[in-house]
């Protein structure tokens, strides 16, 4: 199939949210449909199951796709606004299953629409198929973040900020999903490092910085000169 590139607002790349890898793939397919010249009254977009399967080169249970799409209606993104405010919103307002056409129709949230269409120059572009083929939901997020900084060649981020974006730590209770560093390293760093090297145009290494005995910061070195 054709090499298609998608654009994603940097505020969404930096937002806090937690969605599955399959849900993320549906969002990628939605982004591939969006055009900045879309009229304001256009709020629904069709996601073709056959195209997704072709791009992934694998069969997917339609029931699983529909369930993942439905879940997106309830996934909340915490987006930092340019004026210092915070927006809590889902990207998807509705999902309609159209089994006779082997597709679903997705309604875009009115609050999220500026972050999907009014990109101006505040966006990152990456290849659709590469993003789709990543298996881990964390690999997909790391790929987006590193793509945002690929021209610079480095990305510096605190461990706390990365945990915040990936929704790994409850801001109210402080409870963490991968509290031992070894688990965090495996799921958030090692697996994405392997997958990006295999499926995308980005390779990375990273350095950890400590304050006392605690890992506090990460410095990623980004290489996007190779093809997968």
pLDDT in tens, 174-197: 889 898 999 999 999 999 999 999
What was the pLDDT predicted at 40? 82
Angle at 189 between CA 195 and CA 193, to 5 degrees: 30
Specify whether 110 is located in the same domain as 14.
Answer: yes
What was the pLDDT predicted at 1? 67
What was the pLDDT predicted at 174? 83
What was the pLDDT predicted at 84? 92
Angle at 57 between CA 29 and CA 143, to 5 degrees: 55
Q: Give the range of the structural domain holding residue 96, as residue numbers without chain letter.
A: 5-116
What was the pLDDT predicted at 38? 85
> Any idea what the CATH number is for the domain that residue 40 is in?
1.10.10.10
- Domain limit, last residue, from 116, 144, 178: 116
CB 195 within 8 A of CB 139: yes
Question: What is the pTM assigned to this prediction?
Answer: 0.94
- Rounded CA-CA distance 50/47 in Å is 9
- Domain limit, last residue, from 68, 86, 116: 116
Is 127 buried (19+), middle (13-18) or exposed (0-12) by CB count in 10 A? middle
CA distances (Å), origin 199, targets 104, 109, 195? 27, 31, 6
- Rounded CA-CA distance 38/49 in Å is 22
- Domain limit, last residue, from 86, 116, 146: 116
- Rounded CA-CA distance 53/50 in Å is 5
Is 116 buried (19+), middle (13-18) or exposed (0-12) by CB count in 10 A? buried
Q: Domains in the chain: how many in total?
A: 2
What was the pLDDT predicted at 210? 93
Would residue 125 count as lying in a domain? no
The answer to whether residue 13 scores a pLDDT higher than 90 is yes
Would residue 124 count as lying in a domain? no
Specify whether 112 is located in the same domain as 139.
Answer: no
Average pLDDT over residues 190-219: 96
In this predicted structure, which of 14-23, 34-43, 126-135 has the lowest mean pLDDT? 34-43
Specify whether 53 is located in the same domain as 144.
Answer: no
């Amino acid at each position: 199939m054709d090499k298609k590139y998608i654009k994603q607002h940097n505020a969404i790349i930096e937002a806090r949210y937690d969605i599955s890898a399959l849900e993320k793939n549906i969002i990628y397919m939605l982004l591939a449909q969006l055009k900045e010249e879309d009229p304001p009254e256009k709020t629904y977009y069709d996601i073709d199951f056959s195209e997704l399967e072709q791009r992934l080169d694998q069969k997917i249970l339609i029931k699983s796709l529909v369930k993942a799409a439905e879940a997106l209606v309830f996934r909340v993104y915490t987006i930092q606004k340019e004026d210092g405010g915070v927006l809590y919103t889902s990207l998807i307002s509705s999902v309609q299953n159209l089994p006779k056409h082997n597709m679903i129709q997705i309604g875009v949230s009115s609050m999220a629409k500026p972050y999907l269409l009014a990109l101006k120059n505040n966006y990152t572009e990456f290849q659709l198929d590469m993003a789709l083929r990543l298996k881990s939901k964390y690999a997909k997020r790391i790929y987006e973040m590193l793509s945002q900084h690929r021209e610079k060649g480095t990305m510096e981020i605190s461990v706390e900020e990365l945990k915040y974006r990936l929704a790994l730590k409850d801001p109210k209770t402080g409870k963490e999903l991968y509290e031992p560093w070894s688990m965090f390293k495996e799921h958030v760093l090692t697996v994405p490092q392997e997958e990006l090297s295999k499926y995308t145009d980005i390779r990375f290494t990273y350095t950890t910085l400590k304050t006392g005995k605690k890992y506090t910061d990460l410095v990623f070195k980004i290489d996007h000169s190779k093809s997968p």
